[in-house]
Amino acid sequence: MDRHINVPMNQETAISLHAGDYVYISGTIYTARDAAHKRMYEALERGEKLPLDMEDNVIYYMGPSPARTGRPIGSAGPTTASRMDKYAPSLMDLGLKGMIGKGKRNQAVKDAVVRNKAVYFAAVGGAGALLSKSIIASEVIAYDDLGTEAIRRLEVKDFPVIVVMDSEGNDLYETAVAEYRVDC
């Protein structure tokens, strides 16, 4: 089912999304990948404040290529989400509602998605040029020294993603693959 949603998103929106839905996201999202997650995790351990509020927000696991002059961003596709599995449950417990990435997640992430009524979306891996066209603006808001791994605030318009894990615990990677598996 095709859906258009605005982000940040509330619980009601998150619950209404189901594994397999094709979703166009518009609004504000934030990028963070390995190094930014490690820093945020360490900040939480020290009892410090995070550079962005997690409540109802969506994090895109992405580190772009440099923007050419006159463009908001370079190539901007998803990175492998499982490298963020160690950190994602704590962020969801703080209110993070959505993650955009690619690839499988572990059980702790699945549990946190269900527990917090959150959503894990996949963007098409390796389609960074195409996905960059849905990003209208990009601004580094934290950890500038991390270069491509800095935290960016992105304004997106009809950014295309697919719901992989929903708040009921469904996992499209398991169900869709089983549907098309044939004995040979």
**Among residues 8, 63, 89, 98, the one that binds another protein under rule CB under 8 A:** 63
Residue 161's nearest CA partner among 101, 105, 103, 113 is: 101
For another protein, which stretch binds (CB under 8 A), given 43-51, 57-65, 106-114, 150-158? Answer: 57-65
The answer to whether 169 contacts another protein (rule: CB under 8 A) is: no
Binding residue (CB under 8 A) for another protein from 17, 54, 59, 76: 76
Neighbours of 31 (CB within 10 A): 26
Residue 31 contacts another protein per CB under 8 A: no
Which of 16, 28, 75, 170 is the binder for another protein (CB under 8 A)? Answer: 75
Among 44, 50, 94, 176, interactor with another protein by CB under 8 A: 176
Take residue 124 and report the two structure tokens written for it. 């098409």
Residue number with CB closer to another protein (55 or 108): 108
Among 80, 90, 106, 170, binds another protein (CB under 8 A): 80
Task: Give the separation between CA 73 and CA 53, rounded to whole angstroms.
Answer: 23
Residue 172 makes contact with another protein by CB under 8 A: yes
Which range touches another protein (CB under 8 A), out of 92-100, 113-121, 134-142, 173-181?
173-181
CA–CA gap between residue 135 and residue 129 (Å, rounded): 11
